[in-house]
Amino acid sequence: IFHLFLHTRKKMGLLLLLIICQCAIHSIKTNSVSSPNIVLLMADDLGIGDLGCYGNRTLRTPNIDRLAEEGVTLTQHIAASPLCTPSRAAFLTGRYPIRSGMAAFSRVGVFLFSASSGGLPSEEITFSKLLKQKGYATALIGKWHLGMNCESSNDFCHHPLSHGFDYFYGLPVTNFRDCKPGQGSVFLKGVQKSLVIPIQITGIALVSLAVVQYIGLLKVPFQALGYFLVIITISLVVLIFFFYHFRHLNCFLMRDHQIIQQPLSYENLTQRLTKEALQFIGRNSDTPFLLVLSYLHVHTALYASENFKGKSKHGLYGDAVEEMDWSVGQVLDVLEKNNLSDKTLLYFTSDQGAHVEEISSSGEVHGGYNGIYKGGKSTNWEGGIRVPGLLRWPGVVQAGAYIDEPTSNMDIFPTIVKLAGAQLPSDRIIDGHDLLPLLQGKVTRSKHEFLFHYCNAYLNAVRWHPENSQSVWKVFFFTPNFSPEDSNGCHDSHVCFCHGGFITRHDPPLLFDLSRDPEEQVPLTPETESRFYEILRVIHQAVGNHTRSLHAVPNQLSWDNLLWKPWLQLCCSSLFQSCYCDYESGGNPLQVHLG
């Protein structure tokens, strides 16, 4: 009996130990899944066909490809907009940009100047705000492009630090050709076209007034004529001054609220951005963190450091892609070094498709490759919105899996908010859906039955993935007029526009089945698709429901909010000193002030 007692007691002890171990393991897994580190890597204008994991065989992207091998590849991952500013607004908020006023009714759909008053409204809730409230350290490194100031040069109402980030190191606007001497200008052709007619009208008016005055038909006060000439002269002087100093006024590097380099230097820029990211991870290895590393690559002006220049098979564009891949590898290495790989969800994407119209003045292709997909940046053809979507989290999401369900960059918001243990906002519509069940293989269908594709503020196309069907229907209410007509983009205007003579409207809408025709080459007709009118009826009903969910909000991309306002200009010295400073090499940065 004594031996039986000892034996039973031993077995009970082992059973108790096993239960304790299982509880501990479950606790560790639950803690890991509920509050992982989050690293979000976003390229700029990268084509889905530029990466090895999406079929490219000539560009070397081993580190990005490693994300696909060790994680999930989304093959139908959709940007909420084919332009930088609205796409990034949707990414941060999980909402269509039309809901936040970050979609333009005018021709210009992005912010062009650092001293514009528009930006991501303070009322919007970003994932960085919610994660910060849950104790996450948060940082944005790289491109922002969502506004800076509202009423003064230091209110920073739209600044990253006003949207939940603890730390910012990067560009407040974006990387323009105008930012890099010798790379041409994205404005010059447009400004020339815009000024020709006003100058002609002004000249004709002045000559007409002089003739009328001379022959005595009408007496024009010389004082009024003088005022008119003064106004015209001042306007031209301001315009010439602004574009002559564009690089200094708009292309600068900030750390938090301070300018540290004005104008921006491209020397080892990717290395500097990467170093900042690695240091942030190192500083926060013992606490949950959110890092958004928003690359300047591969938006023009293209650049690459000496270690990568001339090394790829695709000129400077390829060099830039391969340098970005190196940076991704550095992030992976530092996560491993700090034993954080298994505790970190890592996501890689692009804000929209490749800019196919980007060709340098010397004829070199400076835009990327969208694979089999039609069109590119600024269009809602698949080439403009179907972007890389790679997610890695060892031990939690599937490794080496491919998911061909429609997903959106808006889905990152609810996914990471839930993982951080925060509550999704209940006072507004969140258009994204939690990706984790799909990534873990717990479900096989996306929650996106419909996705709405906007060209600026105009509903351009709708995607419908019916339940119990493999089809992905896509209708276009209008399409851009490519120029030349037989090309794959709007080369005459550099980007495609969304209204007027730049588009062709379709009634009935163009209909494609992306599951059979991902290249969008052959529109379906009532003769080739028996359900043609039924499909259009369902989509029109969905559009009606979606439209009723929209509410009027201030337009952040109105002309008033887009225009340069001198009193909002950030300047680290003074306008008379061309706003020049460089504190990257050492020293204390000056506080930002209006020159």
- Which domains does the chain possess? 37-175+253-446+559-568 (3.40.720.10), 187-244 (1.10.287)
Q: What is the pLDDT of residue 591?
A: 40
Q: What is the pLDDT of residue 498?
A: 96
**Which contacts qualify for 181-190: CB closer than 8 Å, 24 or more apart?**
181/247, 183/300, 183/301, 183/302, 183/360, 184/360, 184/361, 185/243, 186/300, 186/494, 187/112, 187/243, 187/246, 188/243, 189/494, 190/494
Q: What is the pLDDT of residue 194?
A: 61
Catalytic residue among 53, 84, 571, 572: 84
pLDDT less than 70: residues of the chain: 1-33, 188-197, 199, 218, 220, 222-225, 238-239, 241, 585-595
Q: What is the pLDDT of residue 587?
A: 45
> Rounded to the nearest 5°, which phi and psi values hold at 319?
-60, -40
Q: How far is CA 234 from the centre of its chain?
A: 36
**Which has the closest alpha carbon to 53: 43, 63, 38?**
63
Catalytic residue among 145, 314, 453, 465: 145
Q: pTM for this structure?
A: 0.89
145 is catalytic: yes
Q: What is the pLDDT of residue 595?
A: 36
Whole-number Å distance between alpha carbons of 410 and 429: 12
Q: What is the pLDDT of residue 188?
A: 67
Task: Tell me the HSE value of 360 on the side-chain side, using a 13 A CA sphere.
Answer: 18
Listed in sequence order, the residues at least 6 apart from 237 whose beta carbon sits closer than 8 Å to its beta carbon are none
Q: What is the pLDDT of residue 114?
A: 97
84 is catalytic: yes
Whole-number Å distance between alpha carbons of 193 and 494: 13
Q: What is the pLDDT of residue 225?
A: 66
